[in-house]
């Protein structure tokens, strides 16, 4: 019996010790869960967007980099470089662009936000007093001429609305090079900044916005059916087409005539919206244009080229009473002409 009790005692003591240790461990408070991420309100997202434009303008690179997630993607649509990936690479590209236009700024005219989507129309101004990278990668001497043109910029917020996961700039390089004096094609004159505050519109996802989205879909349906008569009722009498790659704005009558000419120049033309969203009286569309130029373009004094083209665009349309009034279209006209083989 002594032998048996001697053998068992260490097992009992070990078990008791284990219980004490476990009890002590269980008595310690569990670590607090990490705080839930703070989701930014629409107003805060709009302010963030404007703040990032200000940091860009001030070349405040250390704070500007915080506008992007570490793995963000930045696009210069239908331009070169087309896509830059990663926060560090985005900042380096911005620095290189600023070298050619040390005084460059973006004056935000319109700022729109709907959930994860943001978009701005901005006036880009600057003076080309520094070298710019040419098509072959070699530096191009400065022209010392000013530029001032409208551009579109879009971004996608991260899940909290605190940073941009991606952004894209839509610039017509034909207008840029014409204003610099290195492109003889007609273009919009240099526009100067006004200093006026941006118009900020936040989405309400209400009946007005839903009606504007439905009207936008009807417009694209009519265009893709090549039906000018079906398109006409959706445009207000005061309708104005502001196509940045064109030298002048067009009224309703001229715009409808231009659309009809496009159907003749590109009989297979197809315009595909890939993303569409609304904010107040505005609808924002990102999409692609595709077609084959098998007809002459009289308004441009161009003969058919037989070339197939495809490009991306950003369109921002303002509606009043369910009809389009102001229609801003942004795309790289220089890239479009290059696909047609026109220099």
Q: Residue 179 burial (CB < 10 Å; 0-12/13-18/19+)?
A: buried
Indicate the CATH number for domain 42-202. Answer: 3.10.450.50
The distance of Cα 45 from the centroid of its chain, to the nearest Å, equals 15
pLDDT at 323 over 60: yes
- The arrangement of secondary structure in 207-339, i.e. its CATH architecture, is Roll (3.10)
In 3D space, the residue among 314, 267, 260, 315 whose CA is nearest the CA of residue 290 turns out to be 267
The average confidence (pLDDT) of the chain is 91
State pLDDT tens for residues 131-164. Answer: 887 766 678 899 999 999 999 999 999 999 999 9
Q: What is the percentage of the chain residues whose pLDDT exceeds 90?
A: 83
Query: Which of the pair, 81 or 44, is modelled with greater confidence?
Result: 44
Residue 59's contacts (CB-CB under 8 Å, 6 or more residues apart) are 95, 98
For range 98-122, the mean pLDDT: 97
> pLDDT, tens digit, for every residue of 236-289?
999 999 999 999 999 999 999 999 999 999 999 999 999 999 999 999 999 999
Q: Is residue 10 scored above 90 in pLDDT?
A: no
pLDDT of 28: 64
Question: Which pTM was predicted?
Answer: 0.89
Domain ranges of the chain: 42-202, 207-339
Q: Say if 42-202 and 207-339 have the same CATH topology.
A: yes
């Amino acid at each position: 019996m002594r032998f048996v009790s001697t053998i068992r005692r260490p097992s009992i003591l070990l078990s008791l010790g284990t219980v004490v240790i476990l009890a002590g461990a269980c008595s310690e408070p569990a670590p607090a869960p990490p705080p839930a991420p703070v989701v930014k309100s629409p107003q805060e997202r709009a302010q963030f967007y404007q703040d990032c434009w200000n940091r860009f303008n001030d070349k405040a690179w250390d704070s500007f980099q915080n506008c992007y997630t570490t793995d963000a993607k930045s696009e210069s649509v239908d331009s070169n470089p087309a896509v830059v990936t990663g926060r560090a690479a985005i900042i380096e590209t911005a620095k290189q662009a600023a070298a050619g236009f040390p005084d460059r700024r973006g004056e935000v005219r319109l700022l729109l936000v709907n959930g994860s989507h943001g978009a701005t129309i901005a006036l880009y101004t600057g003076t080309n007093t520094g070298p710019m990278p040419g098509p072959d990668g070699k530096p191009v001497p400065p022209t010392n001429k000013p530029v001032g043109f409208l551009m579109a910029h879009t971004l996608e917020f991260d899940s909290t609305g605190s940073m941009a996961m991606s952004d894209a700039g839509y610039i017509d390089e034909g207008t840029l090079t014409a204003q610099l004096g290195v492109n003889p094609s007609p273009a919009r004159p240099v526009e100067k900044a006004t200093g006026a505050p941006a118009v900020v519109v936040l989405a309400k996802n209400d009946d007005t916005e839903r009606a504007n989205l439905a009207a936008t879909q009807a417009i694209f349906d009519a265009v893709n059916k090549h039906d000018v008569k079906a398109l006409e009722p959706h445009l207000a009498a005061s309708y104005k087409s502001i196509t940045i790659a064109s030298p002048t704005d067009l009224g309703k009558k001229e715009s409808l005539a231009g659309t009809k000419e496009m159907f003749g120049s590109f009989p297979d033309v197809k315009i595909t919206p890939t993303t569409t969203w609304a904010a107040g009286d505005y609808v924002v569309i990102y999409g692609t244009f595709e077609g084959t130029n098998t007809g002459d373009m009289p308004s441009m004094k161009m003969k058919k080229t037989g070339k197939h083209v495809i490009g991306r665009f950003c369109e921002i349309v303002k509606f009043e009473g369910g009809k389009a009034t102001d229609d801003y279209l942004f795309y790289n006209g220089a890239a479009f002409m290059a696909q047609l083989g026109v220099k």
